[in-house]
Amino acid sequence: MIRRNQYVSVHETRAQITREKLLKAAIKLVNRDGMKQLTVRNICDEAGLSTGSFYNLFSGKEDLISYYLKYAFKPYLEKARAEADQYNCVERCLLIYRYYVMYCKDMGLEFVSGLYASNHNPFFDFMHRDQSDDFIIALVRSNLEEGKQTGYILPDVDTDEALLRIAAASTGLLFYWCVFDGKIDLDYELDCAIETYLRSIMVDRDLVLSLPPIESEGAFLS
């Protein structure tokens, strides 16, 4: 006889296996046929699963994309965490976005452009995501809160407002990176935008950062 906790464990394991099949199928489709072919039907056909199996786990294509992004970002997140101890809380905010840019560039224009295909993509709604499903904003939030407690960030700064402005800067620059077909200096421009905002909420706006600066290649790349 299977006990309830054993049943839940088996059920969750099967669900995870199905998620991985769908994820691998989605990755294969994007790499082979491009983002335009990433439909629920095509994903299921590639995975050899029914659409019912898909909708038992994901609300739609955008939900799967969000899962994919979280899954794919893990190696970059680990690298950022490995470097984090040598930097202060403000520098760690910049560091995590540097790895995020690296990750987006590795994902490619085709995939990142697909994120903007839907105005309702849950990937962008960081205010209503569960913290366990987040992989950047939760870290930035903790660094900002630490900064307020340790004297790096002004104590009266509204953390949610700060997160919104940082997220808007990163999302907007990534959008223009897609619009200009990757021909803008995303590394420098995003780093500069976030640092400029962070300095506006810092106690010491002239603080010298130990994080090595990114050299500009010019706003538009040849």
* C-beta atoms surrounding 14 within 10 Å: 10
pLDDT tens for 57-113 read 999 988 888 787 778 888 999 999 999 999 999 999 999 999 999 998 988 887 787
Q: Determine the Cα angle at 70 with ends 65 and 72, to 5°.
A: 90
What is the rounded distance in angstroms from the CA atom of residue 112 to the CA atom of residue 131?
22
* C-beta atoms surrounding 71 within 10 Å: 13
pTM of structure: 0.78
Q: Which of 167, 169, 31, 52 is nearest to 106 (CA)?
A: 31
pLDDT tens for 161-201 read 999 999 999 989 999 999 999 999 999 999 999 999 999 99
Q: Which residues pair with 153 in a beta bridge?
A: 202
Q: Locate tokens 């569960």: which residue?
A: 130
What is the rounded distance in angstroms from the CA atom of residue 91 to the CA atom of residue 144?
11
